[in-house]
Amino acid sequence: METNGINRPKKHVLIRIFICALILVVGVVGMKGLASLKKPPAEAKKSERAIKVQTVAVHPRDYPVVITGYGEAKALTLVDIAAEISGKVVHTHPALKAGRIIPSGEVLFRIDPADYEAGLQEARAGVAQWQNTVARLKKQLANDIRRLTTLERSAQLADTEFERVKRLFEVDRVGTRSGMDQAERAYNTARDQADQMAQAISLYPLQIKEAESNLISAKARRSIAATNLSRCTVQVPFDARIKTVALEVGQFISPGQAVLALADDSVLEIQVPLDSRDARQWLQFEAADDKRPATAWFSGLRAVACTIRWTEDKSGSGWTGTLNRVVRFDQQTRTLTVAVQVPAEAAMGSGSQSLPLVEGMFCQVQIPGRTMQQVYRLPRQAVSFENNAYLANPKGRLKTVSVTVDRIEGDYAYVGSGLGPGDRVIVTRLIDPLENALLEMADAAAAKENES
Instruction: Give residue-wise pLDDT tens across range 29-54.
Output: 878 777 777 676 666 566 778 889 99
CB of 415 within 8 A of CB of 383? yes
Q: Is the confidence at residue 241, as pLDDT, over 90? A: yes
The phi, psi pair for 58, rounded to 5°, reads -110, 150
**Mean pLDDT across 223-252:** 94
pLDDT value at residue 37: 72
What is the model's pLDDT at position 170? 78
Q: How confident is the model at residue 374 (pLDDT cuts 50, 70, 90)?
A: very high
Predicted local distance difference test score (pLDDT) of residue 452: 44
Q: Domain residue spans in the chain?
A: 61-65+263-288+297-451, 84-112+233-255, 115-230
The pLDDT mean for the chain works out to 87
Domain 61-65+263-288+297-451 and domain 84-112+233-255, same fold? Reply is no
Mean pLDDT over 328-340 rounds to 93
Q: What is the pLDDT of residues 106-139, one digit of tens each?
A: 999 999 999 999 999 999 999 999 999 999 999 9
Would you state the CATH architecture of domain 61-65+263-288+297-451? Beta Barrel (2.40)
Q: 383: which DSSP letter?
A: B
Amino acid at 3: T
Is the model's pLDDT at 2 over the cut of 70?
no
Length of the chain: 452
Distance CA 174, CA 429 (A): 147
Instruction: Look at residue 172 in the predicted model and tell me its pLDDT.
Output: 73
DSSP state of 382: G
**pLDDT tens track for 389-419:** 999 998 899 999 999 999 988 889 999 999 9
Rg of the chain in Å (alpha carbons): 55
pLDDT for the residue numbered 317: 73
pLDDT digit string, tens, across residues 421-437: 999 999 999 888 889 99
- Asked whether residue 7 carries a pLDDT value surpassing 80, the answer given is no
Cβ atoms of residues 101 and 239 within 8 Å: yes
| CATH code of the region 84-112+233-255 | 2.40.50.100
Q: What pLDDT is recorded for position 222?
A: 95
Q: Which residues make Cβ contacts (< 8 Å) with residue 20, sequence separation at least 6?
A: none
Q: What was the pLDDT predicted at 26?
A: 81
Q: What is the pLDDT of residue 1?
A: 41
DSSP 283-346: --BPPP-TTS---SS---B---EEEEEETT-TTS--EEEEEEEEEEEETTTTEEEEEEEEEHHH
First to last CA, the chain: 107
pLDDT of residue 15: 80
Once rounded to an integer, what is the mean pLDDT over residues 342-350? 86
Look up residue 105 and give its DSSP letter: T
Q: In the chain, what's the furthest Cα-to-Cα distance? A: 226
Phi-psi region of 99 (alpha: psi -120 to 50; beta: other; left: phi over 0): left
Alpha carbons within 13 A on the beta-carbon side of 297? 12
Of 154, 140, 158, 145, the residue nearest 197 (C-alpha): 145
What's residue 63's pLDDT?
93
